[in-house]
Chain A
Amino acid sequence: RKEVEQDPGPFNVPEGATVAFNCTYSNSASQSFFWYRQDCRKEPKLLMSVYSSGNEDGRFTAQLNRASQYISLLIRDSKLSDSATYLCVVSFMDTGRRALTFGSGTRLQVQP
């Protein structure tokens, strides 16, 4: 089982739509959670951190469910510029690995 699993998509949605991505992680000792955005042939960039209480940044809302071991990203009022691959990122602390573990990403295509 992968440590971080995401639906690869693609999610094809019209402009203005609301779309949600889920991500599951295997290690209950995970401590830190993030969503990154990666444009085609570019480096990943931090979109937002995910806090236990959930957090919102403009049209983006992130949620964490520790009991079920998943995090989600909700994008409201999708824009063409939201088209990208969204990477779920988790930090596993009990392995001693001091690095982030990335999911394979979910591709979003927003269509006019």
Chain B
Amino acid sequence: SQTIHQWPATLVQPVGSPLSLECTVEGTSNPNLYWYRQAAGRGLQLLFYSIGIDQISSEVPQNLSASRPQDRQFILSSKKLLLSDSGFYLCAWSVRWSGVQNTEAFFGQGTRLTVV
């Protein structure tokens, strides 16, 4: 069966520090991968999605970047964190888009980031 791992679960970082969140998927090949952010009491905002190695699409201009060095690895990074980067970061995967319709996404357990 497929599983998705995301770490760390919680993180407290000072303003201006770098960030690296990692996500890996097991049990499937060529998944679509996603990073979402959820601010307190808000909905999920799509940050990045990837349909393949080194193929990253950014949804919103921001202080963050994403990379996909391997098929089942997705990394979210920042060189200098801002207070506004605090939130609940969720990695997700779905079956490769077939060209007909998107399938459901499955989420990792999330990283709760607090920038202080």
Interface membership of B74, Cβ < 8 A: no
| A107 CB → nearest B CB, Å | 10
Interface membership of A1, Cβ < 8 A: no
| A4 CB → nearest B CB, Å | 8
A98 touches B32 (CB 8 A): yes
Given contacts A97-B49, A98-B49, whether A91 and B44 have CB atoms under 8 Å apart is: no
| Total B residues in contact with A, Cβ cutoff 8 Å | 27
A93 touches B43 (CB 8 A): no
* Binary interface encoding of chain A residues 53-90 relative to chain B, with 1 for a CB under 8 A from any of its CBs, else 0: 00000000000000000000000000000000001000
Interface membership of B112, Cβ < 8 A: yes
| Total A residues in contact with B, Cβ cutoff 8 Å | 22
| A63 CB → nearest B CB, Å | 18
A-B contact pairs, 30 of them (CB 8 A): A31-B101, A31-B102, A32-B101, A32-B103, A41-B88, A42-B109, A42-B110, A43-B90, A44-B44, A44-B90, A45-B107, A46-B105, A49-B104, A87-B44, A91-B102, A93-B102, A97-B59, A98-B57, A98-B102, A99-B34, A99-B46, A99-B102, A99-B105, A100-B94, A100-B102, A100-B105, A102-B36, A102-B43, A103-B43, A104-B43
A positions within 8 Å CB-CB of B? 31-32, 34, 41-46, 49, 87, 91, 93, 97-105
Given contacts A44-B107, A46-B105, 9 further A-B contacts (CB under 8 A): A31-B102, A41-B88, A91-B101, A99-B32, A99-B46, A99-B102, A99-B105, A100-B102, A105-B43
